[in-house]
Amino acid sequence: MKGRTSLSAAPGLDVDVATEPLIAWRAWALTGGREGTDLMLRPVAGRARPWRPREIAEAACKSARFHGGPHPGCTCGLHGTHGFEVLRKTRCPAVLGRVALWGRVIEHEYGYRAQFAYPQRLRLICQFCFWMRGPRADRPELVGWFPKDELVPICGEHLTLAARYGMEPRNLLDAAEVDGRLRDTYVVDALAV
Amino acid sequence: MDIGQPKRIIEIVPATLPVPGEIPGQVEPAAPEHEPSAPAPSEPAEQPAG
């Protein structure tokens, strides 16, 4: 179903109405325990709220609490992108996936800002391989556990390279195991690419 | 992350939320007239917050 109305808060922007969630690309950071337990998707930037398993993620605006996210005149909202190329510029992504967006969604040139979201497909990525070759790069073999419960999926080649620059994990986990546990935790399918 | 200029607003009210265990508006099925021969496996009820 589609229709058009006017929205006083967003002059110049058309408003469509739909009943199917939009599916977009998104990258997350990942945290968890030393043994890869208590996995949690988190936004890659800032200190926004984590995406809790089996719970709807809801946008909240920290810069202006008097409006609900996403607001047309702000950058708030849960972000998703039309393609994965935009995400290759993301700082330290650990997980790549497809995400469902609904509620109020503002469509931009290269992506969306949404009121509600939940991941649909997920896979771990080596951030260095993703930067260089995109999502079709080889899958990471290991997941490094760092202080503050940061989990960093990484391939063997880049683990060696990262160690030369002082990036040494306190523990190493099998990436396939963490990948499966992540999908079980969020009850989602594997990303095909 | 730069996603460019806003183009339009979409108000999406999905009939079924894409969240595990979340089926809003689902109506409980009517009780069967006869007891099934074998008990159906039951799933734990989930109530996502948010």
Check residue B33 and give its pLDDT: 42
- Token representation of residue A75: 């950058």
What does the pLDDT average to over A124-136?
A: 91
Q: Is residue A7 a part of any domain in this protein?
A: no
Q: What is the distance, to the nearest Å, from the Cα of residue A33 to the centroid of all Cα atoms in its chain?
A: 19
Q: Is residue A181 a part of any domain in this protein?
A: yes
Q: Is residue A67 a part of any domain in this protein?
A: no
Q: Is-contact A10 A88, C-beta < 8 A?
A: no
Check residue A137 and give its pLDDT: 82
What is the residue-wise DSSP string for A20-51?
Answer: S-EEEEEEEEEE--TTS-S-EEE-SSTTPPPB
- Token representation of residue A151: 């989990």
Q: Is-contact A94 A128, C-beta < 8 A?
A: no
Q: Which chain A residue's Cα is nearest to B21?
A: A54
Instruction: Decide: pTM greater than 0.90.
Output: no
| Bridge-based pairing state of the strands A150-154 and A189-190 | unpaired
Domain containing A114 equals: 13-56+75-190
CB burial of residue A186 (10 Å; 0-12, 13-18, 19+): buried
Amino acid at A41: L
Q: Is residue A99 a part of any domain in this protein?
A: yes
pLDDT, tens digit, for every residue of B1-50? 789 999 999 999 999 999 998 654 444 444 444 444 444 444 444 444 43
What does the pLDDT average to over A88-106?
A: 95
Check residue A70 and give its pLDDT: 93
pLDDT, tens digit, for every residue of A16-70? 999 999 999 999 999 999 999 999 999 998 777 899 999 999 998 877 567 888 9
Check residue B22 and give its pLDDT: 60
Give me the residue from A13, A18, A101 closest to B6, CB to CB.
A13
Q: Is-contact A146 A29, C-beta < 8 A?
A: no
Q: Taking 50 as the threshold, does the pLDDT of residue A184 lie above it?
A: yes
What is the residue-wise DSSP string for A60-77?
Answer: --SS-TTSPSS-TTSS-S
- Bridge partners of A41, per DSSP, are A30, A51
Q: Is-contact A175 A124, C-beta < 8 A?
A: yes
CB spacing of B3 vs A112 below 8 angstroms: yes
Query: Count of alpha carbons within 13 Å of A109, Cβ hemisphere only?
Result: 6
Q: Is residue A109 a part of any domain in this protein?
A: yes
Q: Is-contact A19 A106, C-beta < 8 A?
A: no
Give me the residue from B6, B14, B18 closest to A108, CB to CB.
B6
Higher-scoring residue by pLDDT: B40, A139: A139
CB pairs under 8 A between A and B: 119
Mean pLDDT lowest for which of A97-106, A131-140, A182-191?
A: A131-140
Check residue B40 and give its pLDDT: 44
- Token representation of residue A118: 């939940």
Q: Is residue A65 a part of any domain in this protein?
A: no
Amino acid at A101: L
Q: Is residue A45 a part of any domain in this protein?
A: yes
CB spacing of B9 vs A14 below 8 angstroms: yes
Q: Taking 70 as the threshold, does the pLDDT of residue A179 lie above it?
A: yes
A7 pLDDT tier (thresholds 50, 70, 90) = very low
Instruction: Please count the structural domains in chain A.
Output: 1
The pair phi, psi for residue A74, each rounded to 5°, is -130, 180
Q: Is residue A61 a part of any domain in this protein?
A: no
